[in-house]
Amino acid sequence: MRITENLLSERYLYNQNRINEKKLKMQSQITNNTKLEKLTDNVGDSLEAIKLDSTIRKIETFQKNIIYAKDYLSIATDSIENIADETQKIISQIMKADNALNSSNLASVTQSIKLSLRAIVDSLNEKRNDMYLFGGTDFSDTPWSIDSNGRAFRNSTNVTGEIKVQITQNIKDTINITGNKIEETDLINTLNDILDSLEANSVPDGTLKQRLNNAYNSIVNLQSINGEKLIRLDDISALLEKQLLNTQELLSKKQDIDPAKLIVDLQYQDYVLQLSYKLAATILPKSLLDYL
Amino acid sequence: MGIGRLLDISVRSMAAYQRAMDVTSQNISNAGNPEYTRQKTIFATEETQAGIGMGVKIQDVLRIKNNLLDNQIRKYQSSLSDAEKRSELLQQIESVIAEPSDIGISSYMNEFFNSWSQLATNPNSTQLRTQVIQKAQRLSERFAEIFEGFSSVQSVLQKEAVAKTNQLNEYLKEISEMNHRIYESEARGIKASELKDKRDSLIDKVSELANITVNYNEFGAAIINVGGVQGADQNGYTEFEVSFINNKMRITSKNDKNAIALLNSGELFTASDLYSNRIPEYRTNLENLATAFINKVNEFHMQGFTLVQNGSSVTGIPFFGSLDIKGNVINAFVNGQLKINENILNNPKNIAVSSSANNDGNGSIANLISSLSDLKLGELGDQSLLESYTGFLNTFGVDKVVSDNKIESNSLVIQQLKNQKSSYSGVSIDEEMTNVIKFQRSYEAAAKLIKVVNDMMETIIQLV
């Protein structure tokens, strides 16, 4: 093969250009700390990265939803606890009324129970982010009220609505205790009946006391159901955290660079480039002309 | 045999080597000119009619050219130009698509759906409702930017096609003129090597614009065929122009619109293919995606009820677009933009996320819309929105990667072919300098012979 000067210089420039292209790519990857600067750096890995990123964003949203749900449940649990405390106070008051020494003070017991009932209704009407904790999903009216006789009654026509929150890809969890669940405890009706009895100057009978105890137990039961839900949310949150870490690791493998390897590669390319400069400086201009 | 004949032989030799030196010096001076084709002096023995040697003569000055190699280079050059231009333009689209990143459609689409999931936790939150609107606006802007990117590249392609077609016409005109001069020179027996070099260089440039075939007639004129249409010969050339036939960009003869160049490589092919086929395909893919997205969000949203306002909630409100008097959704997707319902933009309470009336705390519809991200949609070929979008990205990405790979492989082939061409037709300084020494020595020897003849003549004269 005849080797001409043009052939030498073109070949030299072609190789030089290839080395510089590689260097440029590596420099850019090091600067941006990613192998996937654009889609066509690696189409398959880029699409995989998009899917992984989508999964990460979803998990992060589920985590946010769980934080919100836990906050909502905690507040509701606190309210239920208040209701249970007030109910406990009422039970004590009734025990007091049972005592023959206090039979003349039924009016003060009645007043005390009315105050507790008001506190219970206040707790039942509590809000979080403008949403009634126990009012279902219809917020047009305050769920419960106290009438002029000091009796509690349901104000809102519909308190059955559930607030459902997506906490994993396949799980939507109800985070609120609906009003009908409260009604199922029979607490409000029992307290109204107790007040009726007291205002009729009669100490609540055994049946009423039993209803009150049952209502109290049901309220405590609701509290423990909420507590269980909180624990379950903690478990799911831990699971999501693990999923998040795994997915982030997968994404990192797809897109993050290995700086040490890349820097060594870059240095090697630089070395090759310098070598080719020296070679070119030695070989390219030489011809027979130099020796004549 | 007379002594005078020796002088004739010497003088002829000196003339021949001087001419050979001319050729060599022409070669040396063009060593750095990549368009130049080296010339080679062919010596022959001068003979009398009786076959007696009369010294040396220059039989021919050959232009060392390999047409097969040139045709190969042009073929690959045409393909390389197509790949380079295609890659450059697709890169413009790629930078607008901006994937994978936090500002791509996939990212904004995820944020949009996740904002609905968050809204379901607290459906009457104005802040979360505003967040849904903001995410929808961002997504809409991204779609609009990408569609605008398509239009902008198409506009560039149209201008480039016109500019490149004008360039093609210029080249063909020049080639035709040179063909004419070459034809006239060669017909008269005059070598037109330099003109041929210039013309061949122009043919190379034409091959960067379109797929061509080149044939040479007996007097060295090149007959150029551009995509099956006669482009130029020694008698004239065809003027081409950009035409639009059935919304497809075509390169046709100015004088005969039916003479359509069937292009399959070169920059003009890139322009017409991207303008007429590839970009419309990308656009259609994304439009289908956007339409399916809008329709599905609207379908769910229209089932929902707004927050209670003035004592009641409202249903049947589309999230994108508005309703005409017949109750059909209109203006949801205009000029590549997803148009959010003005009533929602003006009042976030009109986002309808409750599955029943007057239930501000019900976020069932928000959960439904959020779950759309994973829902397989029949109109997208039983793919989810993200799958359909990644399918589009895959098609686009493969097109770009194929172009990039073509650049790599064609560059390598062209490099090899050019090496071969340079090896065959290029100037080697070593070789030429060796010729200089050889011809110089031969010239000196011929001159010395004259001196010897002179001495001989003198000897003879002294004898008298």
- The CA distance from A38 to the nearest CA of chain B, in Å, is 6
Mean pLDDT of A180-185: 94
pLDDT band at A8 (very low <50, low <70, confident <90, very high): confident
Which residue in B390, B398, B433 is closest to A289 by CB distance?
A: B433
Q: Does B255 touch chain A (CB under 8 A)?
A: no
- Tell me the average pLDDT across B135-155: 96
- pLDDT confidence bin for A285, thresholds 50/70/90: low
Q: Does B110 touch chain A (CB under 8 A)?
A: yes
Question: What is the phi-psi region of residue B53: left when phi exceeds 0, alpha when psi lies from -120 to 50, beta otherwise?
Answer: beta
| DSSP code of residue A40 | G
Beta strand B329-330 with B337-338: parallel, antiparallel or unpaired?
unpaired
Confidence label for B54 from pLDDT (cuts 50, 70 and 90): confident
Looking at every residue in chain B, the average pLDDT score rounds to 94
**ipTM of this predicted complex?**
0.88
**Is residue A13 predicted with pLDDT exceeding 90?**
no
From chain B, the residues in CB contact with A54 under 8 A are 106, 110, 373, 386
- pLDDT at residue B162 is higher than 70: yes
Long-range contacts of B42-45, Cβ-Cβ distance < 8 Å, separation of 24 or more: B43/B16
Which chain A positions have a beta carbon within 8 Å of B428's beta carbon? 2-5
Structure confidence by residue, pLDDT tens digits, B277-315: 999 999 999 999 999 999 999 999 999 999 999 989 999
Task: Determine which of A55-69, A103-117, A204-218, B77-91 has the lowest per-residue pLDDT on average.
Answer: A103-117
Residues 313-352 of B with CB under 8 A from A: none
Set of chain B residues whose Cβ sits within 8 Å of the Cβ of A11: 415, 419
Q: State which residue of chain A sits closest to B358, comparing Cα positions.
A: A138
Q: What is the pLDDT of residue A281?
A: 80
Which residues from chain A sit within 8 angstroms of residue B406, using beta carbons? none
d(CA B193, CA B38): 9
| H/E run at residue B231 | strand B229-232
Say yes or no for a CB contact (<8 Å) between B396 and A64.
no
- Whether B173 and B237 have beta carbons less than 8 Å apart is answered as yes
Rg (CA), chain A: 38
pTM score of the predicted model: 0.87
- Asked if the model's pLDDT at residue B114 lies above 80, the reply is yes
Q: Which long-range contacts (CB under 8 A, 24 or more apart) does B389-394 make?
A: B389/B105, B389/B106, B389/B109, B389/B289, B390/A47, B390/A50, B390/A51, B390/B106, B391/B285, B392/B282, B392/B285, B392/B286, B392/B289, B393/A39, B393/A43, B393/A46, B393/A47, B393/A50, B393/B97, B393/B99, B394/A43, B394/A47
Neighbours of B79 (CB within 10 A): 22
Question: What is the predicted pLDDT for the residue at A157?
Answer: 82
Return the pLDDT at B3: 80
Residue reference for tokens 């040179």: B178
pLDDT at position B443 over 80:
yes
Say which of A64, A140, A158 has its CB closest to residue B118. A64
Chain B residues near residue A60 by CB distance under 8 angstroms: 114
User: Average pLDDT for residues B381-387, to the nearest whole number?
Assistant: 95
